Amino acid sequence: MTTAAHSAETEGRQTGSALEVLLAFLKLGVTCFGGPIAHIGYFRDEFVVRRRWLDEPAYADLVGLCQFLPGPASSQVGFSIGLMRAGPLGGVAAWAGFTLPSAIALVLFAYGADVLDGRPASGSFMVSSSSPSRS
């Protein structure tokens, strides 16, 4: 990390835009698979090694803090990176960019499963197909 970038972060100033954060996390959200530990590794490669938004000690501290808090550490790490890079909008952009692609894919697969099962794609995926029918 450059001295200018480090001093900007320690003084609390934003060093990027929410759009920049959204695009970076959207790329990861579309291409990365695995659980929270894998996500943390992807984040390190992208934001410490490649983009240099954080240095190793800052990233290690962030991961340690997020693992201490309840909830999925990878979501918290991603939100925090966005927050540090571009403020509150950056945090929301990071969450949306990383989370929404998989959520959209899940809904599309659910609708596709309905169609393959012979039911109209009307949201009936919320009803279990193994429930007894009442006549």
* Predicted confidence (pLDDT) per residue in 49-63, tens digit: 999 999 999 999 999
Q: Identify the burial level of 37 via C-beta atoms within 10 angstroms of its C-beta, where 0-12 means exposed, 13-18 middle and 19 or more buried.
A: exposed
Rounded CA-CA distance 46/25 in Å is 9
pTM of the model: 0.76
Q: What residues does each domain of the chain span?
A: 3-98
Could you read off the pLDDT of 73-123 as tens digits, one per residue? 999 999 999 999 999 999 999 999 999 999 999 999 988 887 787 766 555
